[in-house]
Structure 1
Amino acid sequence: MRIDVLGAVRAFHDDGGPVGLGGPRHREVLARLVAAEGRMVTTDTLVCDLWSDPPARAVGAVRTFVAALRRALEPDRPPRVPPRVLVTEGPGYALRLPRADVDVHRFEDTLARARRDPGAVTGLGTVLAAWRGSAYADVTGSAWAQRERTRLEELRLEGVELRARILLDSGEGADLVAELGAHVGEHPWREPAWELLARALHRAGRQADALATLRRARAMLADQLGLDPGAGLGRLETGILNGTVPGADPRTPWTGSGVRLGPRTTVDLARTLALAGGDALVHSRRDRLAAVRAAERTGDLLLTARVIGAYDVPALWSRADDPEQSRAVVEAAERTLTALGADCPTDLTARLLATVAVESRSAGLSASELEHARQAARKAEELARELADPALLAFALNGVFLQSFTRPGLAAVRDGIGAEILGPATRHGLPNFAVLGRLVRLQSASALGDLDAAASHAEAAERLAALTEAPLVSVLTGWFRARVTAARSTEPGGPSAATAAAHYRVAEEALRTAGMPGLHRGLFPLALLGLRLLHDRPAPTDPRLDWGPYLPWARPLVLLAQDRDEQARAALAAVPEPPRDHMQEALWCLTARAAVQLGERGIATRAAAALGDARAEHAGAACGMLTLGPVTRYLAEAEACAEAG
């Protein structure tokens, strides 16, 4: 079957016949499940989304709507056979349809493919043409639908512009003038639209009209907004005046000479790719290092400094995905700083120092290296403040954040850093760093057990991500919601532990292809272990679990769960001090729990001393993605063990 929501909500059977969806509330329930993209939506959420003031029998009404929709969507389903399309899952419902069978998912996936592969432009044109009006057009008066309409309309506009850009870059697009003229007329504040219209006019041989369009854009921005046009409009005007415009290959300079991108342009492209996640993120790292090495080969120190410092991609996780590359970038930054010495411009010095701070987050760094990275972070922040450069300050504060894991118990400090990043990023239109600030604050609130504040930051981050097309954000917030489910599984009337585990599994599947191995490896088993500890159950012993970097701390508890006490004791004796990262409180709590169960007073004493300053926090929750429960629980056990005997 097929479901369409890019316009009024409707559905069709395999034979093309329409599905009778019932009244407005029935269609809204179906639409809300479509918007969840296959994730479970709780009955409580559906009630809140359908009614601003829910009636007394709202839950029963939702169940009635769901039952009617099931009959409409699967009319031939025999009695007592479980539904396959609209399924019950835990405390709510989920829609199970291939993404290709839902127009909005088909649109979003095609847009994502076109961003990675210009060859997908034909499919992009097809899905754009399938829009029949505003998304969820007949779902009126619902806040969730309005948010989705706003998000999807922004994606549609970007899709229109992406399609035009790909066609123009490939040597086509002269026939886009009318379409882009209407687009600019409807959305005059979108600078990329003006640029594309001017390029289409130029491609059609109308150079004078193209220049007039650019001047009209400049006048509109200046007169109505008091803004100067962006660099893209200026470069295009210069290119038209000089007779040079973008060539057929979007990865070549505007000279049309076929020369490949220089290192600075390559790193700018890499920075853009890094925000896309998945394979694009992997390619981004590769291209970034290649650009740094190419810049060094030129012998131009200032160029090298600019290339290294240009990759100001927000970084949230305290462990590098590619430690060897991170070390190579740090070494290149250090070499460049040393070679330039006092001749290095202040802004480039700050960028190089911030790069050192951001990239010096790999496991295995010595104490002196970590201290050097912390000093680099603080100096970069100081210089950025002196320069009053908001973008540079946000990048420098990113380094300060990543160097703020010096000991357990610093969640409140990190929340302050997140607020400092968020302030200038919001005021000065830096959406990617605004997302970072929100996620840092989400993590900090999660660590402090303030789930309402964390949820607010998660929602704000998702709204920003919808505008900037940052798909990794939803991966992280999906994990946060699984962490919330796990915490609430211990409350009376809360979700079951099995439901929490299922939520973690869904989050794990999304993370698996996100292109962040430094975050991914071992996270799911650690989450399951935390869930079991919350319910006073032994550690999971499935040999297929990949514990990744967390194995030394999990192994004693796994062995205890297998009644292999002596081997567990030996494993505990070999456990190192946790690295200074997002998981240090969690790993100290695992050590404390194993020490208590084995009666190892000395190790329990060390764990209690390490955790003392984190007694108000929740173990593992500093990552915003899982929880082992309150630190105070493990701390009290360790202190009691240390004092016993």
Structure 2
Amino acid sequence: MTLTVGVLGPVTAWSGGDPLPLGGPRHRELLARLVVARGRVVDVDLLVDALWETPPDGAVAAVRTFVAALRRALEPDRPPRTPPRVLVTEGRGYALRAATDAEAFTAAVERAAGLPPAEALTELTGALGAWRGPAYADVGDRPWALPERTRLTELHSTAVERTGAARLELGRAADAVPDLDAHVTAHPWREEGWRLLALALYRSGRRPDALAVLRRARTRLVDELGLDPGAQLAALEHDVLTQAPALELGPDPWARATASWQRAAGPRARLEATVGLLRSLSRTGAEGLTAAREQRLATIAAAEELGDPLLTARVVGELDVPGVWTTSDDPQQAAAVVAAAERALPAAGADAVRVRLLTTVAVESRGLPGPRGAAAAREAEELARALGDPALLAAALGGRTLQVFDRCGRAADRDALGAELVELAGRHGLTDSLVLGHLVRMQARSALGDLAGAGEHAAALDGLAAAHDRPLVGVFTGGWRALRAAVEGAPDAEERFRAAARLRVGSGMPGVEDGLLALTLACLRVSRGEPVPPAGPGGPYAPWLEPHHRLAAGEPASVAALPDPPPGLLMEALWVLAGSAALAVGDLAVLARAQEALAAAAGELAGAGSGMLTAGPVDDHLAAWAQAAGR
């Protein structure tokens, strides 16, 4: 059972929610002294001094007796002659190894400081609910307890004030009044408490009471401390007198609007609003993208539970997010989304809804086996062109860009799709599709060896990212600049690739991050004809890296069981690794497979279609392999 020691009030302890028999006052004081130490060892002599001003004879033995009794209380089920795990002995002292309500309270208040108002309110009310105060209530005025008691009291006041502020931001001014009123009565020197109470009264329609509170604060500060109110209290009093409009707005209009929406909107309206919010979140950066991905299936499930097939179809289709990387960030979730889209398709009577659902299938099928993704992408494009809706067509073209990988050498086809996206999105002000189009063209022009053209798209992307707050764009343009440096023969290419990889860490795109640095460095070395030692986890690319690692270590290697690379942006690069390893071990069958697959990519830079890495010109590898096989 979970053990917690409590000091936010009288000293106590619980196991599984049930109070434990701790013994008399000395036992509790001893336990409190160990809590104050926060897990550090307290020498037995210090414990004696903590419990008695004038220690009696046998005080050390008494402390040890108290410790033994506390151990029985805290670990009643500990087998005989087994070492204690909660109140442990170290040298001449003792330490407490247990969770405390003071630690949990501190952590909750600290967490709340970085949360939106609604989440902060939940965190703070939970923390304040654990306060049985005052802290260390039954240890008297012991000097060793005073600093920790003062800290916790100050933290409690902060939590009360932040709770009031959160309620104000959420438009719940009347709810904030009772706790704030009690707070200023108990702590009359805290100006923030007076300010929040007056503001809460004003927003509750109690302007005279707000003025009375402010004047009461002034009187107490002047008469008892000889201090005038601070600038914030003085400004608030002026604003209340003049009924300043700013008092009604609140510090966070978004939070107040959200709170009103949650109270007023029905389940369908809230669900459709959630879809828009998740789409926006996915574009705000790593944290937003991760949050959107985490909530996506729950939103779809909520739509299905309402039993409205057309609503479900709209929710699934509108949750699509443009993708540029052909490896899914979460294959399991992607498969579940595809399944939900397929279930919703029969209800999608409107062609527009059907296009959205098919686009979702196309986007989320990237990296999944089978032809369904490509077929869905083609059907979505055909329907969108027939409907003449530019936003639908842009979405469908985005799905197509992730399905043009049935064989190597499709960079020119992908570039054409990107060019249409750029033109269409630019003409109709479709920012997301414009970003996607430039990303696709930056990748495709790189694969075709046109670094100057790719650079123009990279520059356009950086401009769009700055203008429209798209922080994830920098992950791709940063990777592309490292790629360009490598192609141009920069001596520090490896370090530039490592710097680009650091941009991907924590980006919220594990499909882009996982194993890519190891693959990047391997491709760089193969392009230079150098051995390939391990350079970190290979992730999904490990099968193509392992033969090279073994060869670099002088160990036997085999490629006989090596699978064909999956379709995607890295297909050509993986074929280069397969063919190079096959040549090194003399496996002509695998070498022939690599030659046949890469023949269609003649004239391209292997792997550069990713915009992140390259294994060098495909022509160079084909020529070297042909020459070696000829011998």
Check whether the contact 1:486–1:500 (CA below 8 A) recurs between aligned residues: yes
Supply the distance in 1 between the matched residues of 2:116 and 2:501 (Cα, whole angstroms). Answer: 26
349, 354, 362: which one aligns with 2:359: 354
Superposed, 1:40-55 pairs within 5 Å as none
Superposed, 1:14-163 pairs within 5 Å as 117=116
**Identical pairs, percent:** 45
Is 1:622–2:613 an aligned residue pair? no
Q: For residues 254-302 of structure 1, what are the alpha-carbon distances to aligned partners after superposition, in whole Å with 9 as ceiling and x for unaligned?
A: 3744877722211211111111221211110121211111001111011
Is 1:550–2:553 an aligned residue pair? no
542, 561, 565: which one aligns with 1:574: 561
Structure 2 match to 1:316: 324
State the shift of 1:531 in Å.
1.9
Closer/same/farther in 2, CA of residues 306 and 452 from structure 1, 3 Å limit: same
Q: For residues 205-240 of structure 1, what are the alpha-carbon distances to aligned partners after superposition, in whole Å with 9 as ceiling and x for unaligned?
A: 9xxxxxxxxxxxxxxxxxxxxxxxxxxxxxxxxxxx
Is 1:507–2:516 an aligned residue pair? no
Check whether the contact 1:611–1:631 (CA below 8 A) recurs between aligned residues: yes
State the shift of 1:356 in Å.
0.6
Structure 1 match to 2:590: 603
Superposed, 1:252-291 pairs within 5 Å as 252=259, 254=261, 256-257=263-264, 262-291=270-299
State the shift of 1:391 in Å.
1.0
SS where residue 413 of structure 1 aligns?
A: helix
Check whether the contact 1:432–1:468 (CA below 8 A) recurs between aligned residues: no
Structure 1 match to 2:218: none
496, 503, 516: which one aligns with 2:509: 516
Is 1:422–2:422 an aligned residue pair? yes
Q: For residues 413-443 of structure 1, what are the alpha-carbon distances to aligned partners after superposition, in whole Å with 9 as ceiling and x for unaligned?
A: 0000001111111111111110000000000
SS where residue 262 of structure 1 aligns?
A: helix
Check whether the contact 2:171–2:259 (CA below 8 A) recurs between aligned residues: no
Is 1:373–2:373 an aligned residue pair? yes
- Structure 1 counterpart of 2:598, which letter? L
Length-normalised TM-score, structure 1: 0.58
Structure 1 match to 2:550: 559
- Structure 1 counterpart of 2:522, which letter? L
Structure 1 match to 2:444: 444
Is 1:588–2:575 an aligned residue pair? yes
- Structure 1 counterpart of 2:461, which letter? A
SS where residue 261 of structure 2 aligns?
A: coil
State the shift of 1:120 in Å.
13
Check whether the contact 1:592–1:635 (CA below 8 A) recurs between aligned residues: no
State the shift of 1:251 in Å.
4.0
Supply the distance in 2 between the matched residues of 1:301 and 1:120 (Cα, whole angstroms). Answer: 32
Closer/same/farther in 2, CA of residues 502 and 482 from structure 1, 3 Å limit: same
Length-normalised TM-score, structure 2: 0.60
Larger radius of gyration: 2
- Structure 2 counterpart of 1:468, which letter? H
- Structure 2 counterpart of 1:337, which letter? L
SS where residue 529 of structure 1 aligns?
A: helix
Check whether the contact 1:448–1:618 (CA below 8 A) recurs between aligned residues: yes
SS where residue 573 of structure 1 aligns?
A: coil
SS where residue 534 of structure 2 aligns?
A: coil
- Structure 2 counterpart of 1:254, which letter? W
Closer/same/farther in 2, CA of residues 168 and 484 from structure 1, 3 Å limit: farther
Structure 2 match to 1:389: 389
State the shift of 1:250 in Å.
4.6
User: How many residues get paired?
Assistant: 398
Check whether the contact 2:117–2:169 (CA below 8 A) recurs between aligned residues: no
In structure 1, stretches of 5+ residues that fail to align are: 1-113, 122-165, 174-202, 206-245, 490-494
Structure 2 match to 1:306: 314
Supply the distance in 1 between the matched residues of 2:290 and 2:255 (Cα, whole angstroms). Answer: 26
SS where residue 320 of structure 1 aligns?
A: coil
Q: For residues 80-114 of structure 1, what are the alpha-carbon distances to aligned partners after superposition, in whole Å with 9 as ceiling and x for unaligned?
A: xxxxxxxxxxxxxxxxxxxxxxxxxxxxxxxxxx9
SS where residue 318 of structure 1 aligns?
A: coil
State the shift of 1:167 in Å.
12
State the shift of 1:640 in Å.
2.8
- Structure 1 counterpart of 2:357, which letter? L
Structure 1 match to 2:339: 331
Structure 2 match to 1:8: none
- Structure 2 counterpart of 1:476, which letter? F
SS where residue 533 of structure 2 aligns?
A: coil
Closer/same/farther in 2, CA of residues 116 and 589 from structure 1, 3 Å limit: farther
- Structure 2 counterpart of 1:291, which letter? T
